[in-house]
Amino acid sequence: MASISFCKECNNLLYPREDKVHHVLMYACRNCPYEEETHNPCVYKHDLIVAAKETAGVTQDLETDPTLPRSNITCPRCHRTLVFQRHALHSGHQESVFFGDQGRRAQTSMTLFYNCTNCHRTFLDPKLTQRRKEQAAQQQ
């Protein structure tokens, strides 16, 4: 089994590196010149693939964040067409705040979530939802 090694000089993590002259596997520090020969010549790479569903995460008070982008979109709960007007954050105009999926996956595309500033519901990008329905129908 692989183990984690630390530098004896600066206590940083040691990384595997090939000694190209002697053709042996070494552990080398990236912060100082320390290196040592490994006891086990095997290098293991373990990729964790987690099948996690997209999650919006914490959505409380998103509409008050002035750094998030805004969009004109119809909310599926209150069915109001949310009209975006610049500088209308606190003036009573309705809009929807959108943000990307907080999960990190290499194989999937980014998912957009919308948060209605009227009823505070968080919902998926309607175009993505429609595309997923079409793909599911094609697979059947």
Rounded to the nearest 10 degrees, how much is the dihedral formed by the CA atoms of 61, 70, 125, 110?
-90
Rounded to the nearest 10 degrees, how much is the dihedral formed by the CA atoms of 85, 87, 90, 92?
-30
Nearest partner of 96 among 120, 131, 67, judged by Cα: 120
Check whether 116 is labelled as a binding-site residue: yes
Check whether 7 is labelled as a binding-site residue: yes
Residue 96 neighbours by CB under 8 Å, 6+ apart: 70, 71, 72, 73, 75, 82, 84, 114, 115, 116, 117
Check whether 75 is labelled as a binding-site residue: yes
Cα–Cα distance for residue pair 93/84, rounded to 1 Å: 7
Check whether 42 is labelled as a binding-site residue: no
Annotated binding site: 7, 10, 29, 32, 75, 78, 116, 119
Annotated binding site for Zn(2+): 7, 10, 29, 32, 75, 78, 116, 119
